[in-house]
Amino acid sequence: MTPMIYGLGMVLFFLGVVISIALHEIGHLVPAKRFGVKVTQYFVGFGRTVWSTKRGETEYGVKMFPLGGFIRMIGMLPPEKRDADGKVKGITGGPLGKLIADARAVEYERITPEDEDRLFYKKAPWKKIIVMSGGPMMNVFLAVILLGSVFMLLGVSKPTLTVAQVSDCVQPANAAASVCRANDPASPARTAGFQAGDRVLSVDGTAMRSWDQFSNVIRDSEGTTINVVVQRGDQRVVLHADPTVNTLLSLDDPSAYVKAGFLGVAPTETRERQSFGFVVSTMGSYTKATGQALVTMPSRLWGVAKAAVGAQERDPSSPMSVVGASRVAGEVASSGQIDWVDKVATLLTLLGVVNLFVALFNFIPLLPLDGGHIAGAMYEAIRRGWARLRHQPDPGYADVAQMLPIAYIAASVLVVMGVLLIWTDIVNPITLT
């Protein structure tokens, strides 16, 4: 592993993430300005301002910690609503009421009478939805561009029936060890005499047409002896193997493990360019897998927390922060076992998956995420539309300020989650090995 190339891989990947964040905010900024919303700030990062410049009414800049970004639109929180008797609706008393009132006060400190028609909350619900969807949709667009470039230009690695590597021992897929230990049993492939370069022809008389077919046969053959015919040079050799039961990654859910037959051979791979239809179908599969990961994230974070304090080994498929992803990118860049095409393809794929995750995460209908504002706008549209159908008075805007207590709790959870992942990626990182 070359330290310089490792560091360069980390930096380039992290820069790609920062650019993705900047473009995410552009996805909000452009439609907001098009719809006449006053945008006072556009920043990449959080914390102390490192650099900024003002263009027109908007200040553009970079903060010290480039782990996020934001645009500041005036009038995000509507003024308080009152009933016919003049009483304020919603939460008014106690700490929560004070929190909401203080947030409204801060929101309107710098709003002038000239800004009244440019407040975000006054815009039509469909305009609010477009503005708040712009950021996540930018990440979806970037994911399509990045993954499409890999699939259609560089191609996708497809396994062949030629053996590239024979495992020395049996280790579960979720094991943290990278080398065989004294108590690890020899792999069935090593015992049977498989060699790198062998081309699989048939299993028990059935011709093998693809590596996937061969892999499925192995997974279903635990505890039985199989006869594998391979082409070795100019000879055909019959190998007698006894696949054993091992913990392997699920073929249906990449984040899950299953018990299946294990032989201990890895295939050689070739790159094949794919069609746009493949990009669409793969994006669908990635989206489904990402959604499943989001659903299971709370339970899997508990495992990360235990790994952070050394209570258990780090699950290789557990969530990681941008720090962890950058470390993996560094390992990919500096690996001597893959060529530059595979390195570029892997890094672009990783960045594309990160963008897809960011998009879906932001669509969660919970403040302070974009999805929370989208949900508020949709609720407002439904209420107004229902009122029109029933010939009732317009109920007006949705008071999203009433959701601020939940938003602060959610924001606190996100901060804790981010700190936990970053810390664990430093003290107990996931590595390629």
Domain boundaries, the chain: 157-272
| Helix boundaries (H) for 193-231 | 211-219
Q: CA 177 → CA 161, 220, 264, 314, 431, distances in Å?
A: 27, 26, 16, 11, 11
Contact 360, 294 (CB under 8 A): yes
Cα–Cα distance for residue pair 300/256, rounded to 1 Å:
11
Which sequence positions are flagged as catalytic? 25
CA 34 to chain centre: 29
Contact 189, 170 (CB under 8 A): no
φ and ψ at residue 139, rounded to 5 degrees: -65, -35
Using alpha carbons, select from 142, 107, 131, 129 the residue that is nearest to residue 22: 142
**Radius of gyration over every alpha carbon of the chain, rounded to an integer in angstroms:** 27
- pLDDT tier at 313 (50, 70, 90 boundaries)? confident
Cα–Cα distance for residue pair 66/53, rounded to 1 Å:
17
Query: Would the pTM of this model clear 0.85, i.e. be above it?
Result: no
CATH code, 157-272? 2.30.42.10
> What are 133-149's pLDDT values in tens digits?
999 999 999 999 999 99
> What pLDDT score was predicted for residue 208?
96
- pLDDT tier at 346 (50, 70, 90 boundaries)? very high
State yes or no: pLDDT of 292 exceeds 80: yes
Cα–Cα distance for residue pair 11/347, rounded to 1 Å:
12
Contact 188, 263 (CB under 8 A): yes
Using alpha carbons, select from 23, 34, 128, 33 the residue that is nearest to residue 69: 23
Looking up tokens 């990045």, which residue turns up? Answer: 146
- pLDDT tier at 362 (50, 70, 90 boundaries)? very high
